[in-house]
A and B are shown apart, each in its own frame.
Chain A
């Protein structure tokens, strides 16, 4: 339908407003990170790199950053392996029990984080997992698993299982078939799952706050404790860095998914 020029302009303006409204709170941290004073005031005054310098030199920040990197990397791999296996199992099960199990595995996306956190914390106290790498990895994997499951399941849905039959007729055993036919075709799903899993773990805060202790802090925990203790603008610098990194990661995942969809005939 042809649109009148006036309608087009109004529509454009409204869209722009919504876009600003959505992005502005995030973008506020960018100028604040270059603030000269030790305050989180907006608008910031002057310009300096000191908060970035502080982030890279202060052991509180570097260690928590490395912790997050470590946890997120392990979680990404673990969740991808488990999520892929789960997606495979569900894909090859009878529909009814498979749907039930799928819902169960997706609950971490639906259940309020705080509720989950309380449960995990209670169990971890007994199991002595509070403040341990294992504890963080296990908790974050639960949260990251649904993303992998969804991504790989979407891939498996369009995967033609007759290709596996064809591979068998050509002489490929089950493992060879998986390696040479199935895996290459679901790899895009696994990769986007991996990225989402990494991002999920890297910026997880609610559960992390419960299971952290002074010896093991992840970056979001460090940000939270820093901002509640003193208004340290390093937080804004970290936020800016995280914003850039996450945008790259998620953007990459979207691109992978999009290319996969276009690649199908």
Chain B
């Protein structure tokens, strides 16, 4: 992050922004501060409000209420074409009747940039996305990935202090997507512009972002770095949406600083307790879970009986799906080659109480996951 030439990005402030369609609240009092030059990803399932937030920032949608500042100035009521914000769309939205060069020159022409200066900046923008050789082609002659790079060049050529990207890699295949993610990261580093990126792909969010805002049902569940979201999820929804996870539910009992869950006659304990009340559930990451043959001695750890439902060899280790006595499923990742299990094996699921993330149960967390 220290390679940025200069901090030319704008800060974005959303203050209790709401958007209602009739009685449906697409956005419910969303507040979000984005630092200048930051790469902020809005992550969430479809219909969670992330794209609506982007549209409100871009000026394509008017918020029903709330304040929106770009670079410290309110842009509420300012039409999209006067906001000077670059936007990259999922479906490229290149003008089919113009060549690549003319597409990229379009925002410059509107700003009165002419002649050699315009050509220089078009060239520079196309160089940055490595499409300079295609200036005379028409969009229909390009592949999806190439079109999206041209769209990116068109969105940055006029040096906007803020670039919005709405699932820009959504229509591309996995290999191309991974390569373009790194390209976007590089361009962000070189430009120093504030990037706001919308995606439903948590891996993509982790690869790209300085910080991630996790959206659910028109609100933000948590804002933080990828590490913070993975290690310290604030809600069950975030814990389940970022990374693989196992959720244990049972009869809860609290004593002192300890919380115990009774699951089908077995009890598991953690040295944590829920601060704000609510029904506690335990969330465990796959790498914090271990498997042992049924009955093998291992003191000091929590133990739950289960049966291997699925065993997947990953090369770097194995992934197991274990069906517990209450019918719920646990996901275990093991790098121990010495120990391997087959489908149907009776096993014990082992984990330490300190590796448990204790979260309040939330029935919303299940409904929105697909």
Contacts and interface: CB of A to CB of B under 8 A. Distances in A.
B81 A169 contact: yes
A119 interface: no
A176 B96 CA distance: 17
Interface stretch (B86-94, B176-184, B202-210): B86-94
Contacts of B81: 167-173, 177
Interface of B: 58-60, 79-82, 84-87, 89, 91, 93-97, 106-107, 110-111, 140, 154-155, 158
A interface majority secondary structure: helix
Contacts of A265: 96, 140
B284 to A, nearest CB: 43
A168 B95 contact: no
23 contacts: A160-B91, A162-B93, A163-B95, A166-B87, A166-B93, A167-B106, A168-B59, A169-B58, A169-B60, A169-B80, A169-B81, A170-B81, A170-B110, A170-B154, A170-B155, A170-B158, A171-B82, A171-B84, A171-B110, A177-B81, A180-B106, A181-B95, A184-B97
Band of interface residues on A? 20 to 34
Contacts of A264: 96
Given A176-B110, A265-B140, A168 B96 contact: no
Given A169-B86, A265-B140, A163 B110 contact: no
Interface in A126-180: 160, 162-163, 165-173, 176-177, 180
B89 A172 contact: no
B80 A162 contact: no
B110 A166 contact: no
Nearest to B164: A169
Contacts of B94: 166
Nearest to A173: B81
A65 B10 CA distance: 67
Given A165-B60, A166-B87, A172 B93 contact: no
A256 interface: no
A250 interface: no
B158 A160 contact: no
A205 interface: no
Contacts of B96: 185, 264-265
Interface string A242-265: 000000000000000000000011
A263 to B, nearest CB: 8
A166 B158 CA distance: 14
A166 B60 CA distance: 10
A184 B93 CA distance: 15
A150 to B, nearest CB: 22
